[in-house]
With several copies, the nearest count.
Chain A
Amino acid sequence: MSSIIVRVKQKQIAQLIAKGKRLDGRGLHDYREIKVEQGIIERAEGSARVLLGKTEVMAGVKIETGEPFPDTPNEGVLTVNAELVPLASPTFEPGPPDENSIELARVVDRGVRESKAISTEKLCITPGKKVFVIFVDIYVLNHDGNLIDASALAALAALLNTKMPNYEIEEGEIKIKPGYSALPVRKHPIAVTFAKINDKLVVDPWLEEEQIMDARLTITTDDDGNICAIQKGGSGYFTPKQVFEAAQIAKEKAEEIRKKLGWGKNGEKN
């Protein structure tokens, strides 16, 4: 599209939002369609693919053994990494992680970590020496906006899908036994991201909304409705009132998503 058409469209998006409408017909607080597919990568201990409208994110979980952190000798280690692979967008370039992919990984990581979604204390093999290390690799395949929410969903869906190998300790050495058991996941943190456009908050911005937003706010809540992670982004600002309003909406949207996907105590399945 020529840049003139782009600007006309952007103006239209902003004007509609001021009237409480969105170009794709959604209400300000509506998500695009969410599709979650789990277990798609047999090579991985856990995996999932999430579609949020046209945004497509994959997550894979690999389990290895390693040393615990010195300050948590009895706990397994969680590592979240995100790759903005260049096939997902003309603006992504090959190379080491940039500030955007690092922020994405760290925001998803905080949601899982701070909600204590994973019982890391159950991932200890030999205290202070050997624990399970859970690698969550987020792989963005198509970028059409709101990568954070899609990635957080993909990471959680992959963790819920993860099978731990059974094992025994024989003379200090770990021995893999036949069979698997599910990774102990006890919480379902859901990230809900807002874009501020024309001083309104819209939920789940798509790419063209992100291009004109003033600022971004992500609020992650756990199954009990508590807040476990927040991240403001973008070079604009929020009033305190907008922040508190967003926190309430985030809680409701997260509850809706959990219910829809059947995750957690109010979920229909799992």
Chain B
Amino acid sequence: MSQKTEKLIDKKGLRLDGRKSDELRPIKIEVGALSNADGSAYIEQGKNKILAAVYGPRELHPKHMALPDRMVLRCRYHMAPFSVQERKSPAPSRREIELSKVIREAVEPAIFVEYYPRTAIDVFVEVLQADGSTRCTSITAASLALADAGIPMRDLVVACSAGKIEDMIVLDLMDIEDKVGSADVPVAFMPNLGVITLLQMDGILTHEEFEKAVNLAIEGCKKIYTLQKEALRAKYVSVKEVEE
């Protein structure tokens, strides 16, 4: 992270978009937005606009990659060329390949993978607009799309970042805070089990700051979890109405 001389916190202790240190960005969730996918979710978190879709359980090609005792979870995190300031080539970057891996490993602990041996589940995440902490918003969306697809899960996975900007530990970093701030700690959490399924960090933090950041991120996760459950409920209510 580069240290530029931009002021991220004003005299009242508020951030550039007026948030307090422990405040989430506005979040909008829509479940089941896509008709072709087996499950899908669209999330806006601040200016992040992220779509996740799930296909499966379905057959795996080539077949020799199927596993006899469990399903294979595959995940692709991908950014639209127009999602960032400088046009991004649609070919997957090294960053996208790493994030596809950590997102997969963040949602997999929630899935009963042994329920569908010899099958595959594909999670596709498309970042339509990026504004920081996209891996967290992607995990939140992916786990909703999995639930929408009826995949049996231990719990929803929800993710949120915390970080350090100008000596303050803050929740839910947006792009400029990620770039100019001094540390970023994305965390994915399963609230019912109280366990962490994604943890990364870059920047510089003391151990005290690190613990504070992780705990703050978990608090953020719990708040988003409530919204996740509401969105799922809203989807199922409306589906039920349609089916009657």
Contact = CB atoms under 8 A, between A and B. Distances in A.
A–B in direct contact per CB < 8 Å = yes
Contact of A87 (B1, B34, B197): B34
B30 interface: no
B109 A236 contact: yes
Nearest to A239: B195
Most chain B CB neighbours (cut-off 10 Å) among A90, A217, A227: A227
Contact of A81 (B81, B97, B100, B130): B81
B202 A43 contact: no
B124 A217 contact: no
6 contacts: A41-B128, A85-B124, A228-B203, A231-B199, A232-B198, A237-B195
Given A86-B55, A141-B51, 4 more contacts: A54-B35, A96-B91, A240-B196, A243-B196
Nearest to B73: A235
Interface of B: 1-2, 34-37, 40, 47, 49, 51-53, 55, 58, 73, 76, 78, 80-87, 90-92, 94-95, 97-98, 100-102, 104-105, 108-109, 122, 124, 126, 128-131, 185, 190, 193-207, 210-211, 214-215, 218
Interface stretch (A1-9, A13-21, A58-66, A164-172): A58-66
A94 B76 contact: yes
A210 interface: no
A142 B40 CA distance: 11
A12 interface: no
B34 A247 contact: no
Interface in A210-228: 215, 217, 222, 225-228
Interface stretch (A23-31, A98-106, A253-261): A98-106
A87 B210 CA distance: 36
> Closest 5 A-B residue pairs measured CB to CB?
A60-B82, A87-B53, A230-B201, A235-B108, A237-B195
Contacts of A204: none
A251 to B, nearest CB: 7
Given A71-B2, A81-B81, A240 B108 contact: no
A16 B182 CA distance: 41
Given A60-B81, A102-B94, A139-B80, A238 B124 contact: no
A226 B194 CA distance: 26
Contacts of B73: 235
A238 B82 CA distance: 36
A110 interface: yes
Contacts of B34: 56, 87-88, 141-142
Nearest to A96: B91
A83 interface: yes
Interface residues of A, number: 66
Contacts of B82: 41, 43-44, 47, 60-62, 135, 137, 139
A87 B51 contact: yes
A114 interface: yes
Interface in A134-150: 135, 137, 139, 141-144
- B53, B81, B129: residue with the most chain A Cβ atoms closer than 10 Å: B81
A89 B2 contact: no
Given A87-B40, A89-B36, A42 B47 contact: yes
Nearest to B105: A235
Interface in A168-220: 215, 217
A115 interface: yes
B83 to A, nearest CB: 6
A54 B35 CA distance: 7
Contacts of B109: 235-237
A244 B187 CA distance: 13
A64 B91 CA distance: 18
A62 B196 contact: no
A237 B197 contact: yes
Given A62-B87, A90-B58, A234 B105 contact: yes
Contacts of A143: 36
A119 interface: no
A114 B1 CA distance: 7
A266 interface: no
Contacts of B37: 87
B222 to A, nearest CB: 12
Contacts of B94: 97, 102, 105-106
Nearest to A217: B199
A48 B34 CA distance: 17
A252 B73 CA distance: 36
A58 B105 contact: no
A229 interface: yes
